[in-house]
Structure 1
Amino acid sequence: MRKALFIILGTLLLDQALKLWVKSTMYLGQSHEITSWF
């Protein structure tokens, strides 16, 4: 139970940090190619 809680909280924190980074560094319509097939 405790391990699952840490995984969920870690995922949420990572998600929010990524959203903040994208919002503060990218403009509307900008894209980044991760790999050629994605």
Structure 2
Amino acid sequence: MAAKRLNRQGNLVGFTYFLLILILPSYTINVYTVVASIIGID
């Protein structure tokens, strides 16, 4: 039972990292675009 719970936790961590890998690139691009527009870089 403990192993099953640990496995589910591991899957959750892996899923979270997967979401971060999916979300972070577009997020950093958005941040870069905002910063660039504020500074005046085109």
Specify the TM-score bucket, using the shorter chain as the normaliser.
Answer: 0.5 to 0.7
Structure 1, unmatched stretches of 5+, are 31-38
- 4+ aligned runs moved over 2 Å, structure 1: none
- What is the percent sequence identity of the aligned residues? 11
Larger RCO: Structure 1 or Structure 2 (Cα < 8 Å, ≥ 6 residues apart)?
2
Taking structure 2 as the reference length, the TM-score comes to: 0.55
* RMSD between superposed Cα atoms in Å: 1.3
Equivalent residues, number: 28
Residue pairs, 1:5-20, within 5 angstroms: 5-20=7-22
| Bigger Rg, which one | 2
